[in-house]
Amino acid sequence: MKKTGRFLCSLVTVMILITNIAFADDFVKNEEFFNAVKKYIMNNYAGEVTEDELYDSAIKGMFEKLDKHSIYMDKETNESFTESVNGKMYGIGALINVKDGKLNIVEPIEDSPAQKAGIMPGDTIVGIEDERLGEIKDLKEVINKIKGDKGTNVNLTISRNGKEFKVDIKRDEIKIKSVKYRVIEGDVGYIKISQFTTDVEDEVQAAVDELKKQGINKAVLDLRGNPGGSLSAVVEVSKHFVPKGKVVIVRDAKDKVINHYSKGEVAFDKLAVLVDENSASASELLSGAIQDTKSGTLIGKTTYGKGTVQTILPLKNGEGIKLTIAKYYLPSDRSIDGTGVTPDIDCDRYDIDADKLMELDKNTKLSKGDAGLEVLAVQERLEAMGYDITDPKGVYQDSTFKAVEKFQQDTGIYPYGAADLTTLSKINEEFVKYMLSDKMDKQLKKSIEILKK
C-alpha cells in the first residue's frame, strides 16, 4: 500500500506540473521556461535520455524553422563538410544532391568506385544497406551513411527509369581535383571547375596559363554539376572570365551591402559557359556575372537557384553551425535565389536518354540463342558506343555475338562472344564513361559550334 500511495502521489505531482505549464496565465517562453521543461523531462520521462541529447534536439529544432541551408552540424557532419570544402572525400566518388526530397546522382567522379560500378547521372538512391530512404531533409546525414572506411563496401538501392536494383560499391579515398583542362577541336580550350575549393584559383590560373601558352583565345567553361563553394574563391576566379567591375552583390540581414569586384584580367576573346540544374551557388554567381556582362554565352539548363550566403561557426567540441546570413545578387542586381540562371541557349546534355534504357543485369551470362530484356540492355549500350548490331531487338544472334566479341577485343577481355559477368560489368563501366564523353555531349557540341562561328 505504501508503494501504491507513493506512486499515486508522484502521478498527481506530474499532473499538477503539466497543468501548471499548459494553463499558466501569462507564462513567457524564455530561458527560464526552457530550463523548467528540460528539468521536467529529466525528472519524469519514462525512457532513456541525457541532458546533452535534449540540448542537441532543442538546438536542431531551432534550425528547423530556418531555411534549408542553415543547419546545426554534429561533429561527423562538420568534419564531412570541411573535407568537401578542402577538396578531399571518402566514399563512392559521386556528386549528389537533393531534389524534390529525393537523393539524386549528379555525376560520378571520373575513375571513381561509383563510375566503375555503373552509377549514372540521374540515378536516384532510394536505399542504403537495408534502410529505405524517405524524403531527404538532411543531405549531410545521408552522405555520412554512404561514406565509410577505405576498402569497406556499401550496398545501395538505385532507381533508374522506374526500376530498382542493388549495387555493392567498395569505398575508396576520393581525391577531387577542382579544375581539369584540355584543348578540344584543335583550337578551343576547355576548363571544367568541379567546385570552388580553397585552392581553386591556383588551379584555374595554371589552366589559363597553359592554354594561353598554346595560343588558345576561345574557351568553354564547364560549370555543370558544380555545387558552389567559397565566395572569395569564385570572386578571385572571376577575373579570368568577367570584365573589370562588379561581379556579385551581398546584402546581409540588416540590408548592409558589400560589393565584390572582378580584377578584369579576361583570358579569352570568346567564351561559352556550360550550366545545368545542378550548378549552384558560387557557380551560379560566376555564370550569372558572365551573362550580365555579356562576356560569354550560357548553354545548358536553368541552374539550381541558391542565392544565399552561409557562414560556418566552428564550436570547440568539433560541432559547427552553418547559418544563412545574407543573400547574393548579380551585377544587374537580380536575385538567383529560387529562380536560378536561365541559359541563353537551352539544350539537353545527351544524345541518348539514359533513363529510357533497359536495366543491365550484371549478375547473369548471355550467349547466342538467348532472348529477352537483358539482351536488349546489352544491345542498346553496345550500339550507343558504335558497335554494329542488326539482330532483332532482344535477340542474341550473330551480329550481337560479333559485337560482344569485338568489345572484348577492344577492352582486353578474352574474345569469345559470350557476355559473361566480367564482360557485362565492363560494358556497364565503359558505357558510363561514353555517356560522359565529348561524343555524347550535345551541350559541349553546341558550345563549340557557337565559338567557331
The pLDDT of residue 174 is 79
Model confidence at 392, pLDDT cuts 50, 70, 90, reads very high
Model confidence at 185, pLDDT cuts 50, 70, 90, reads very high
Axis crossing angle, helix 373-384 with helix 398-410, rounded to the nearest 10? 50
Which tens digits make up the pLDDT trace of 101-123? Answer: 888 887 788 788 998 888 888 78
Kind of pairing, strands 297-300 and 345-346? parallel
Task: Yes or no: say if 155 and 129 are a contact pair by the CB < 8 Å rule.
Answer: yes
The pLDDT of residue 155 is 94
CA distance 314 to 316: 7
Task: Yes or no: say if 366 and 418 are a contact pair by the CB < 8 Å rule.
Answer: yes
CA distance 428 to 378: 9
| Residue in the structure block whose three cell numbers are 558506343 | 385
CA distance 251 to 324: 11
Q: Which of 331, 326, 436, 313 is nearest to 384 (CA)?
A: 436
Q: Determine if residue 345 is left, alpha or beta; phi over 0 gives left, psi from -120 to 50 gives alpha, anything else beta.
A: beta
The pLDDT of residue 197 is 86
Question: And the C-alpha cell for 257?
Answer: 551591402
In whole angstroms, how far apart are CA 190 and each of 22, 185, 207, 215, 240?
65, 10, 9, 13, 13
CA distance 386 to 351: 13
CA distance 10 to 106: 56
The pLDDT of residue 229 is 86
Catalytic (active-site) positions: 281, 292, 306
The pLDDT of residue 89 is 59
Beta strands in 227-373 (DSSP E): 245-252, 257-262, 270-275, 297-300, 308-314, 320-329, 345-346
Question: And the C-alpha cell for 434?
Answer: 561514353
Question: And the C-alpha cell for 141?
Answer: 546525414
Question: And the C-alpha cell for 216?
Answer: 588558345
Backbone angles phi, psi at 135, to 5 degrees: -70, 125
Q: Which of 27, 82, 25, 34 is nearest to 55 (CA)?
A: 34
Which tens digits make up the pLDDT trace of 349-358? Answer: 887 776 678 8
Backbone angles phi, psi at 12, to 5 degrees: -65, -40
Which tens digits make up the pLDDT trace of 17-59? Answer: 545 555 455 667 788 888 888 999 999 999 999 998 898 888 8
Higher pLDDT, 3 or 224: 224
- In a 13 Å sphere around the CA of 132, the CA atoms on its Cβ side amount to 3
Q: DSSP state, 229?
A: B
Backbone angles phi, psi at 126, to 5 degrees: -110, -5
Which tens digits make up the pLDDT trace of 281-340? Answer: 999 999 999 999 999 999 999 999 999 988 888 887 788 888 899 999 999 999 999 999
**274 bridge partner residues:** 222, 299
The pLDDT of residue 355 is 65
CA angle 298, 301, 302 (to 5 degrees): 90
Regarding pTM above 0.75, the answer is no
The pLDDT of residue 249 is 97
